[in-house]
Amino acid sequence: MADEYTPTTEEVRDFVTTADAPGPWSPPDTAVEEARGAAFDRWLAAHDRAVKAEGWDEGYARAKSSHCDAWPSAAYCDVTDDNPHRADQIEGATE
């Protein structure tokens, strides 16, 4: 469905932070909106890290298998799998 609208990240964040649309019956609560926004930002950062880590792993595996099978003595064939995007390898990062 090429004509389907896909909201931007900012539109989704705005919706998450103000899910209970303010009105006379429900005045805006800045603290709640800030907490929801922070939670969304943490989720998005974790999501982006996971996507980057998956891409890095795939590229690493392909490069290592295609090049190291042909030239096992190449210097980079001994490189460890230190994925810089994995949460467990980033100080202070959470899943």
Reference 41, options 17, 8, 5, 7; nearest CA is 17
Task: Express each pLDDT in 5-59 by its tens digit.
Answer: 878 888 888 888 877 665 666 667 788 888 888 888 998 998 898 899 888 888 8
pTM over 0.85: no
Could you write out the three-class secondary structure of 50-69? HHHHHHHHHHHHHHHHHHHH
Question: Which one has a higher pLDDT value, 89 or 13?
Answer: 13
